[in-house]
Amino acid sequence: MRNNRAYREPITGPVGYLTDGTVMRYKARGFVVWAARRSHIRHPVDFPPMPSDKPRRSLADDERWRLAHRFLHDDSIDTVDRVVGLLVLLYGRPLTKISRLTTRHVVQAGQGVRLALGTHPVDVPPPLDRLLLALAEDREGPPGLGRAEQPWLLPGFFPGRPRGTAHLRSRLTAYGLPSRRGRNSALKDLAAQMPPAVLSQVLGVGIKAATQWADAVGSARTEYAADISRGRSSDSQPNKPCPSG
């Protein structure tokens, strides 16, 4: 009975963690709405909209290419960090998919290297090709575990599991690369260069997501062109005479 009485008492404590916490808080929305309708919560709770992969927050172009240049040419950076950073900045790969890449995704084609991200493998430029081959041939896995038993390009610290996304994210953050913004920047750039169907095939992005990226980039271009047009139109107008006193 004591537990039942406690359950019936309205929740009056702070609920800030529901509005300021991690992305997992969005999963609690249904329960919170139910509790509020039954007066179990006295304080109103406003859930912000679920974040999306639309290009709302991205790196500036110069910052993106500065980071890409560093990951490409700074040999003092660990090979894992260089590969992960470049896959984010150049190909817009999410960390969840990067962590699950296997050695079979790295394909040697003559003198070059291809990476199978979608249905059509992409040619990998140097020195990323060399870095990928290095990981495929000598992967860093947990001590005492045979390399041949590890299919992952980035073996984790537990047998049979890939490197965790939280671990990869923290390593990129140490170099000043927020993974989501870096990915958004790359996808914006790529969506401006190829149609959605090609983007989907090359990167393994869903056709719906690829179309949304293309639409978003197209809208931004349209707004920019309109701003330029309005600016030119106003510049071409003759100066109005000042009213005389």
Give helix then strand counts, H and E, for the chain: 11, 3
- DSSP run (H or E) holding 200: helix 196-203
| 237 phi/psi in degrees, rounded to 5 | -75, 140
Q: What secondary structure does DSSP assign to 183-194, as a single string?
A: HHHHHHHHHHHS
Contact in structure between 89 and 177 (CB atoms under 8 Å): yes
Structure tokens at 71: 């990951």
Give the model's pLDDT for residue 133.
94
Q: What is the pLDDT along the chain (245 residues), one digit of tens a residue?
A: 444 444 444 444 444 445 444 555 556 667 777 777 777 776 656 555 555 544 468 999 999 999 999 999 999 999 999 999 999 999 999 999 999 999 999 999 888 999 999 999 999 999 999 999 999 987 555 555 554 467 899 998 888 889 999 999 999 999 999 999 999 999 999 999 999 999 999 999 999 999 999 988 884 444 444 444 455 444 544 443 333 44
Structure tokens at 97: 């998919």
Give the model's pLDDT for residue 111.
86
What is the distance between the alpha carbons of residues 207 and 212, in angstroms, rounded to a whole number? 9
Indicate yes or no: pTM above 0.95: no
Burial class (CB in 10 A: 0-12, 13-18, 19+), 35: middle
Bridge-partner residues for 115, per DSSP? 106, 122
